[in-house]
Amino acid sequence: MLNLILEPLSFEFMRQALATAILLGILCAVVGNYLIVQRMGILGDVIAHAVLPGLAIAFFLGVDIFLGAFICGTLSTFIISWIQSQSRIKVDVAMALVFSGFLALGIMLITLLKSKLDLHEFLFGDILSVTTDDVKRTVIITVFVLILVKLFYKELLFYTFDPLGAQASGLPVNLIHFALNGAITLTIVASMQTVGVVLVVSLLIGPGITAYLLVKELYQMMHLGAVIGVISSVTGMYMSYYLNVPSGAAIVLVVSVLFLLALFFSPTQGIFTRPEMAHQRAKLMNQFKSQKTK
Amino acid sequence: MVDFMLEVKHLAVNYRGVTAVEDVSFCSLPGQIVGVIGPNGAGKSTMVKAILGLVPSTSGVVKFRSRALKQQLNSVAYVPQRSQIDWDYPITVWNVVLMARTVHTGWFRTPSRPSQEIVKDALARVGMLELRSRQIGELSGGQQQRVFLARALAQQAELLFFDEPFVGVDKKTEAIIFEVFEELKSQGKILLVVTHDLGTALTKCDQLLLLNKQMIANGSMKEVMTADNIQRAYGDSVLLLNKYVS
């Protein structure tokens, strides 16, 4: 048993992949909670796909592609907010359009610039290609974002719960809004390489909504979500190693299974276990018994 | 006395090309409850939001204590309409009320002991201290409104804005809201209360603003609730309102 756990660790690429997966499990779960409570889960998906033009341009110019991705992802959130504030168009359709518009621009740029960017890797990630420098960057981003969340927790709580009340009390809500979107973009850019843009959204919101079914405060969702995120990414990595399946898909499947477990069996809200269901179960059992005795 | 008043001059709001509020002016003195009334779509909520700078105004000046209100938002408490809040948000009663202390506490700090005491007193005042560990979604509509009332109290504001505080609340909550309003009034605060309820709430107001995009009437209940004014604000639905006219 112990050998099963230790064997993959003898490879450096696995050690680096696991370290990255653990860091992202924590980071995505914590940051993703802000998407959940603002009912903006899809924004994770939008930003993830909207980074493509930035990648293409940065690749062409020979600058750090993570910088290009970050700038482009942040730009997409600005455009969504701008469309929303300037017209009667609702945020969901603004996001849908920005999503495909940026993706189309990216695909076009890759072709026009004859870029050697690997679209497959962009979409699905390749955690086994993680280098020591990548691990370092992930550590820096994770520590940086977690410190920000800790420092601005009470302001972010007020803003995400009651944006109007927060603004009326004098908090700089626009600054908070864009800083939060910046942190979300940074998290997505850091995760791109590992799980790819298609799957990153589930790493962002999966652990959080699982925790949401189990606890009743945002900071508890963050703590429990981080634990669930780490369990998912580690389990997913081992599955990927032993079953020889793509790591991103394996991690996301574990996330989904854990969510289903909570959905069915959460003590307070589980479909099979919530208090009113215990009532119904007892009723059914009684009916069953009385039929038996007849 | 005049130095402490709330002064709104020529406030106007255009919302995506449509005039929502047109040239509204009024003054309110400390120790006054100001009722903002008018038909649906009259721009009552929008006017309050524009006063606070929550929606951009196309023109107008808002002054409090002779200075721009925008520079003194730390003396303001705003309770939004119940429908603006996500009641499934993962937060407990205690932490909702603790939000009131966010700006007073300042960046990078955790709320002080006196702040915690203020929150405790506010919750006790509205009869919600026992339920402080409840998730807000587990409360009744009236209890939820009382939590927000406690939050407004804990902000220790001079100017308080309530948007439709009587919607969906029980008799007990209504009575508590009226009591707290009276207390705040006696402490010399200014309260602006948006309501479409033309019942008991109106009799508690010292000043009424009757709105339909523009100011139809402004003054005491007697001055404002005349048949002529109501006809101008509500148009054909006037028959329904006749019973409120003295």
In degrees and rounded to multiples of 5, residue B211 shows phi and psi of -120, 140
Which residues of chain A make contact with B49, given a CB cutoff of 8 A?
164
Per-residue pLDDT tens over the stretch A239-253: 999 999 888 889 999
Please report the domains of chain B, with CATH numbers, ordered by start residue.
2-241 (3.40.50.300)
Question: Considering only CA atoms, which of B22, B65, B26, B27 is closest in space to residue B46?
Answer: B22
In what side-by-side order are the strands of the sheet with B59-64?
B18-28, B6-15, B59-64, B67-68
Per-residue pLDDT tens over the stretch A171-196: 999 999 999 999 999 999 999 887 88
User: Looking at A213-222, A283-292, B118-127, which range is the least confident one?
Assistant: A283-292
* pLDDT at residue A199 tops 90: no
Say if the Cβ atoms of B91 and A161 lie within 8 Å.
Answer: yes
Average pLDDT over residues B100-105: 92
CA distance B166 to chain A (A): 18
What pLDDT band is residue A123 in, cutting at 50, 70 and 90?
A: confident
Percent of chain B with pLDDT over 70: 95
In degrees and rounded to multiples of 5, residue B27 shows phi and psi of -130, 145
Which residues of chain B make contact with A169, given a CB cutoff of 8 A?
73-74, 76-78, 100, 102-103, 155
Question: Considering only CA atoms, which of A125, A127, A268 is closest in space to residue A199?
Answer: A125
How many inter-chain contacts (A to B, CB under 8 Å) are there? 86
User: Looking at A33-42, B6-15, B199-208, which range is the least confident one?
Assistant: B199-208
Give just the sign of the alpha carbon dihedral B181, B183, B185, B191: negative
What pLDDT band is residue A88 in, cutting at 50, 70 and 90?
A: confident
Which residues of chain A make contact with B54, given a CB cutoff of 8 A?
164, 167-168
What pLDDT band is residue A286 in, cutting at 50, 70 and 90?
A: confident
* pLDDT at residue B45 tops 80: yes
> How high is the pLDDT of residue B235?
80
Q: Minimal Cα distance from A89: which residue of B?
A: B16
User: Looking at A163-167, B236-240, B241-245, which range is the least confident one?
Assistant: B241-245
CA distance B140 to chain A (A): 17
Q: Minimal Cα distance from A209: which residue of B?
A: B90
Instruction: Provide the CATH number for the domain around residue A185.
Output: 1.10.3470.10
If one counts the domains in chain A, the total is: 1
What is the β-pairing status of strands B32-37 and B59-64?
A: unpaired
* pLDDT at residue A66 tops 60: yes
> How high is the pLDDT of residue A277?
73
Enter the tokens of residue A147: 């410190």
What is the β-pairing status of strands B32-37 and B190-194?
A: parallel
Q: Which residue has the tokens 């560990």?
A: B133
Distance, first Cα to last Cα, chain B: 32
Q: Who contacts B212 (Cβ-Cβ below 8 Å, separation ≥6)?
A: B38, B39, B42, B43, B232, B233, B234
ipTM of the complex: 0.92
* pLDDT at residue A73 tops 90: yes
**3 state DSSP class of B23:** strand
* pLDDT at residue A50 tops 50: yes
Measured CB to CB, residues of chain A less than 8 Å from chain B are 37, 39, 87-88, 151-152, 154-155, 157-158, 160-162, 164-171, 212, 215-218, 220-221
Average pLDDT over residues A216-228: 96
Per-residue pLDDT tens over the stretch B136-185: 999 999 999 999 999 999 999 999 999 999 998 999 999 999 999 999 99
* pLDDT at residue B242 tops 70: no
Most A-contacting residue of B102, B107, B133, B145 (CB-CB within 10 A), to test interface: B102
Average pLDDT over residues A248-267: 94
Which residues constitute the domain of residue A181? Answer: 2-293
Which residues of chain A make contact with B110, given a CB cutoff of 8 A?
154
Asked whether A74 and A62 are in contact (CB, 8 A), the reply is: no
User: How many Cβ atoms from other residues are within 10 Å of residue A279's Cβ?
Assistant: 10
Question: Considering only CA atoms, which of B125, B142, B144, B126 is closest in space to residue B134?
Answer: B144
